[in-house]
Chain A
Amino acid sequence: MRPVGDGPYLQVRDLRVRFDTEDGVVRAVDGVSFSVERGKTLGIVGESGSGKSVTSLAVLGLHDPKRAQVTGEILVGGRDIVGLAEEEVRRLRGRDMAMIFQDPLSALHPYYTVGRQIAEAYRVHHSGATRREARQRTVEMLGRVGIPQPERRADQYPHEFSGGMRQRAMIAMALINDPDLLIADEPTTALDVTVQAQILDLLGDLQDEFDSAIILITHDLGVVSQVADEVLVMYGGRVAEHGSAQRVLRQPQHPYTWGLLSSVPSLHGDADADLVPIRGNPPSLINLPPGCAFHPRCPHATDRSRVDVPELLPADEPSHLVACHLPEPDRLRLYQEAR
């Protein structure tokens, strides 16, 4: 399903997701824009309540229109899916775009064999395929994601799989229709670190093979640094910083990104030094601080930070975007001093 024309496969422009709750309006995503090209990986980083998962669910058209108000543009292969009929979005989902979740057990039905569930995902989008063809394709896919003895494994139930094998099975299901866009929401968070390394390698290999665009949502900066080409840092439903992985992780310009990086314990550097955490807690989306949402926790906040929401503007290079009121020379100096 290759659409005509060039440009990024996924383009999100000014995405806003609002929920009306008893306690008030929650602006879970408030004006987020990004794009992902084929063969590239965008890492979306943030803590709880940053809006990273709500963003990915919007891209997949998974918000219930009765509960959530989604506005903006989400162009998938050039086609805007915001406001598209549920029936049409469903046709895209699973075929052009697919998702893998943190917990594969919740995505796999315990009552059916793994093979049957994957084959069904194939037949939904290939109505002409016979049972035999679907089965053959399933076994092939299980083999591709590194499951040994795929013939036999296809006939087993999810509980007979280990955590890592289940995650592989879910990846097989997500990729069976050769989607152009894969959204992985904390795909390795529930896994042991040696298995996480295998799964990240596998995603990279499959991306080379299928040339898919990947969005990886995670709280783990280490994981992002390993696989992402571009990084989007979210805070309080907005983008704090966005750019190449090299820029955002090596020359970050937003005080929140600095805080995240200095909070993470490392295998290198001085183990006896205290970590440098961010003071306070992530904000509640119901009661977001005015101005820059990060200002109550920011050691460099100015009077303006308390009033005006900072715009996301280009910094040292056009594709490196930062939403901070501090002038760039000050940011560069402060970051150097802190290091």
Chain B
Amino acid sequence: MSLLAVEGLTKHFTARGGVVRAVDGLDFTVRAGQTLGLVGESGCGKTTTGRMLVRLLEPTGGRIVFEDRDITHLGRRAMRPLRQDLQIIFQDPYATLNPRHTVGRIVAMPLTVNGTRPPGGVKKRVQELLELVGLNPEHYNRYPHEFSGGQRQRVGIARALALRPKLIVADEPVSALDVSIQAQVINLLRQLQRDLGLAFVFIAHDLAVVRHFCQRVAVMYLGRIVEIGERDEIYERPRHPYTRALLSAIPDVAKLGQSEGRIRLTGDVPTPMNPPSGCRFRTRCWKAQDICATEEPPLTAGVACHFPEPEGAP
């Protein structure tokens, strides 16, 4: 049974000049204790998807089913008990921490709001949480500005863990951090995932980071999933041309300037206000044929392409 199931999830925004089809029909599932990476470039709809999952945004269509319960249109009050199970971590830790509250109060907030009385008291639980994420429990009374960027992200993680959630949506949790700190936080998330059996939807633009954290990966382009599968399938044997181009574009220290086998896309991502007909990737795809302009390829066997690479191809 899956912990989270998403069917036909859609979010359209009305803007001046038309409708922005930010997310346009997503299907995926996340099992308990599993990590799914949502990757793609700006405008692909990954952040909008994350916000819909924790119901910070109201979907335009489709369904979100959490533990067999349809939560797509639950109101604030009805959502409250579910907030225990479903948490989110944001990119910029500083923007999400109230500068006038102590770290202890920030981490305790979910407990307070939810009326949870942990055994041993709130303070003890908060100190346990601080310790769990690698912060000094004695820093309970300090304020966010007294912490570095990486430590602030740890505070955000401690807060997300306060209610012992089953699923955490992490939206670019390490992309604002320095390289050396980023690695610390990735390792922390991996350890928490292992030790607590948490499920994650991990949203990121950095495919190398996702590779080190996620068991499954969904690649998004202009509001759609173009490819989804097990980590090694996606990274070792990508089948969609966009996945191949994306992987090929990442400058990797291991390659040190070698450029053979590189795929270079031309042009920019089109606007989601007016996505191309048929396959949305066709305007930048070197394999595009007539059919790609007329028929949108369905997501079958994990890939949405009329001319995918054969399965098992390197």
Show the binding face of A for B, using Cβ within 8 Å: 47-48, 162-165, 192-198, 200-201, 219-223, 225-227, 245-246, 249-250, 259-269, 271, 274-279, 281-282, 297
Contact = CB atoms under 8 A, between A and B. Distances in A.
B139 interface: no
A36 B269 CA distance: 35
Contacts of A220: 251
A274 B187 contact: yes
B277 interface: no
B193 to A, nearest CB: 12
A250 B256 contact: yes
A231 to B, nearest CB: 11
Interface of B: 41-42, 148, 150-151, 178-184, 186-187, 190, 205-209, 211-212, 231-232, 235, 245-257, 262, 264-266, 268-269
A274 B179 CA distance: 14
B187 A223 contact: no
B269 A47 contact: no
Contacts of A260: 179-180
Given A198-B264, A267-B250, 16 more contacts: A47-B179, A48-B178, A162-B268, A193-B250, A196-B249, A219-B178, A222-B253, A225-B252, A226-B255, A246-B256, A267-B207, A267-B211, A267-B247, A268-B254, A274-B190, A277-B180
B249 A265 contact: no
B251 A222 contact: yes
Given A47-B178, A47-B179, A219-B179, A225 B257 contact: yes
Pairs of residues from A and B, 7 with the lowest C-beta to C-beta distance, nearest first: A277-B183, A222-B251, A192-B41, A263-B183, A278-B180, A275-B183, A47-B178
A265 B180 contact: no
B172 to A, nearest CB: 13
Nearest to B185: A277
B252 A222 contact: yes
Given A193-B246, A197-B249, A165 B212 contact: no
Contacts of B262: 197
A164 B180 CA distance: 28
A206 B257 CA distance: 17
Of residues A193, A222, A264, A274, which shows the largest number of chain B Cβ atoms within 10 Å of its Cβ? A193
A259 B187 CA distance: 15
Contacts of B186: 265, 275
A251 B235 CA distance: 27
Contact of A275 (B212, B250, B264, B269): B212
A178 B268 CA distance: 27
Nearest to A161: B268
Contacts of B150: 281
A163 B182 CA distance: 25
Of residues B41, B184, B212, which shows the largest number of chain A Cβ atoms within 10 Å of its Cβ? B212
A209 to B, nearest CB: 18
A276 B212 CA distance: 12
Contacts of A201: 264
Contact of A266 (B178, B231, B232, B253): B253
A221 B253 CA distance: 6
Given A221-B179, A226-B251, A271-B231, A265 B148 contact: no
Nearest to B271: A162
Contacts of B182: 263, 277
Given A194-B265, A225-B255, A260-B180, A271 B211 contact: yes
Nearest to B258: A226
Of residues A220, A245, A281, A297, which shows the largest number of chain B Cβ atoms within 10 Å of its Cβ? A281
